[in-house]
Chain A
Amino acid sequence: DQQVKQNSPSLSVQEGRISILNCDYTNSMFDYFLWYKKYPAEGPTFLISISSIKDKNEDGRFTVFLNKSAKHLSLHIVPSQPGDSAVYFCAASGSGNTPLVFGKGTRLSVIA
């Protein structure tokens, strides 16, 4: 049973437009959510996070939105750049030093 779901395996966006990557979770005990970006032949790198006490966190071109009632979060990238092309993983964890649970990832392609 997948606790973290990314239902879109891939997404294509024009350069300069907004990219929206979605993620749903089922475990109501999750209270910390992260997005990771992964390039081929590299490990995932941390991008942005949000705790359950917030509904929005912004860092430059990246904004993560959390809707706890819907158990849904999304990552917005504005404006999208070709260098953003990568696989994006949504991850979640409960309180304390618990390891992350990951979604399957969404491959974003930003077309110049």
Chain B
Amino acid sequence: SAVISQKPSRDICQRGTSLTIQCQVDSQVTMMFWYRQQPGQSLTLIATANQGSEATYESGFVIDKFPISRPNLTFSTLTVSNMSPEDSSIYLCSTLSPTDTQYFGPGTRLTVL
């Protein structure tokens, strides 16, 4: 299975600021996903990030709010822009293995004051 790391592991941010979360995978992967888990909710897919193309966003998520970069096959970033307390959540990076099993990073716990 892929080993996935995320930075930062947690952060406390002020309203109106932006935070960029980094995701590093120890092997080359085609597909990377970004999820959000708000308190008491299921993991919700934000977007799919493929290398060499623009990210594909799910309904309710837009590029201006959650810009994503995918510069190569082992790395991606998610930025949470112009944050509000409603953005307080755990953000998780995920990849798809050749056997179609998804593996997750440890998550980034974000608190917006």
Give chain A's interface residues, CB within 8 Å of chain B.
2, 4, 32, 34, 36, 41-46, 49, 89, 91, 93, 97, 99-105
Contacts and interface: CB of A to CB of B under 8 A. Distances in A.
Given A43-B4, A43-B92, A99-B33, A104 B104 contact: no
Task: Please tell me the size bucket of the interface on B.
Answer: 20 to 34
A45 B105 CA distance: 9
A4 B102 contact: no
B100 interface: yes
10 contacts: A36-B104, A41-B107, A43-B105, A44-B43, A44-B92, A46-B103, A49-B101, A99-B31, A102-B42, A104-B42
B96 interface: yes
Contacts, number: 54
A33 to B, nearest CB: 12
Contacts of B67: none
A100 B23 CA distance: 19
